[in-house]
Amino acid sequence: MSSTEVQWKRNQFVPENRTEEGRASNEIESYVRQIRRKFFKHKLAVWGLVTTLLLLIIGLFAPWLVPYSPNEVTNAFGAPPSFAHWLGTDQVGRDVLSRLIYGTRVSLFIGFTTVAIYVTFGTFVGMLAGYYGKWIDMILMRLTDIFLSFPYMMVVLVIISMLGANVSTIMIVLALFKWPTIAMLVRGSLLSLKSLDYVRAGIALGYSTPRILLRHILPNALGPIIVNATFGIAGTILSEAGLSFLGMGVKSPQASLGNMLHDAQSLTVLTEQQWLWMPAGLIILLTVLAINFVGDGLRDALNTRQS
């Protein structure tokens, strides 16, 4: 018996569903490889990814990397950089490098956690509005319009001043006014996806609504969500830094990149003690640039219409 006949007989005993599952798995792997190849061709995106991962590692292992406790007061008040204190000390005598590492940790935690909260909620709202439509869509979209009509920063400042400035309040308030963008994005994707044949086939076969939404529709709408979330992390870090700089964010003695700038507002510090504000400003710039470059790379890699 020839090898061709043997292969033909083997194919006769392969279940059809197994063949379809294997084909689908191969298509997914090919798509992932294509995205990875496009992303790693983007040099700035690769640099941004490496830089972001490095900052995350530094924040994660902050307790073991800092030379001093971030709140430890030494005898050196406003001392310039030296071998004992690589980035000097602030006016209270705290080590600037230690506070910078912990401040990076806090700012990254606020950025990633806030985005996780509002992306989850916004995706849920957008899926409900886009899939069910009719009066559910009308109510949810009018609610979204109401939140989008608020003067964002003014309302955030008022709410934080009423509830008190701390990490939890900042994350909740920022997430409260950022979910509408995700909701509208997801709704628009569902309006185009739910009319496709595979979604109608799932409905005809009696699949449950959560299964259709989570297994068949959401994976095809993940691209825009991931890109928007990436840029949202950078925006949230800037928002936290701005609030802390205005004295409405993370309060001292807890360190954050924003309140390190807040503590260095005087003209004397700006002109004569640059080590108190320049490192925090550079880390904010570096972090936001790196995350935005990652977002640019993901946007180009996930754009299926791009050759």
d(CA 93, CA 76): 5
Whether 250 is in a domain gets the answer: yes
291 closest CA partner among 236, 219, 217, 222:
236
CB 104 within 8 A of CB 168: no
- The pLDDT value recorded for residue 9 is 45
pLDDT at residue 26, as a whole number = 59
**Pair of tokens at residue 19:** 């063949």
pTM of the model as a whole: 0.83
Of the candidate ranges 25-34, 122-131, 212-221, the one whose mean pLDDT is the lowest: 25-34
Give percent of the chain with pLDDT exceeding 70.
Answer: 87
Whether 232 is in a domain gets the answer yes
pLDDT of residue 307: 40
The Cα–Cα gap between 27 and 6 comes to: 26
Dist. CA 233–CA 226, nearest whole Å? 11
Greatest mean pLDDT range, 2-11, 25-34, 291-300: 291-300
Instruction: Write down the pLDDT at residue 212.
Output: 76
* pLDDT range class, residue 201, cuts 50, 70, 90: confident
Least confident stretch, 27-41, 131-145, 195-209: 195-209
Handedness of CA 206, 211, 217, 220 (dihedral sign): negative
- For 225-250, what is the mean pLDDT? 88
pLDDT of residue 306: 44
- Determine the structural domain holding residue 50 and report its residue range: 45-58+83-302
The answer to whether residue 64 is domain-embedded is no
Mean pLDDT of 31-48: 85
Per-residue pLDDT for 12 more than 70? no
pLDDT band at 23, cuts 50/70/90? Answer: low
How many Å apart are CA 232 and CA 18, to the nearest integer?
40
Calculate mean pLDDT across residues 64-80: 86
Q: What is the CATH number of the domain that holds 265?
A: 1.10.3720.10
Q: Which amino acid is at 141?
A: M
- Residue 29: inside a domain, yes or no? no
C-alpha 53/C-alpha 60 separation (Å) is 10
Cβ–Cβ < 8 Å for 260, 249 = no
Higher pLDDT, residue 252 or 186: 186
- Mean per-residue pLDDT over the chain, rounded: 82
Residue 63 lies in a domain: no
Domain assignment present for residue 77? The answer is no
How many structural domains is the chain composed of?
Answer: 1
Task: Pick the closest to residue 226 from 299, 143, 292 (CA basis).
Answer: 299
What is the per-residue pLDDT for 257?
Answer: 87
Residue 23 falls within a domain, yes or no?
no
Token look-up 């260095």 returns: 264
Rounded CA separation 49/249 (Å): 27
For residues 120-145, give the mean pLDDT: 88
In a domain, residue 31? The reply is no
Check: CB of residue 74 under 8 Å from CB of residue 94.
Answer: yes
- Band of the pLDDT at 104, cuts 50, 70, 90? very high
What pLDDT is stored for residue 107 in this prediction? 92
Residue 237 predicted with pLDDT over 80: yes
- Given a cut of 90, whether residue 209 has pLDDT beyond it is no
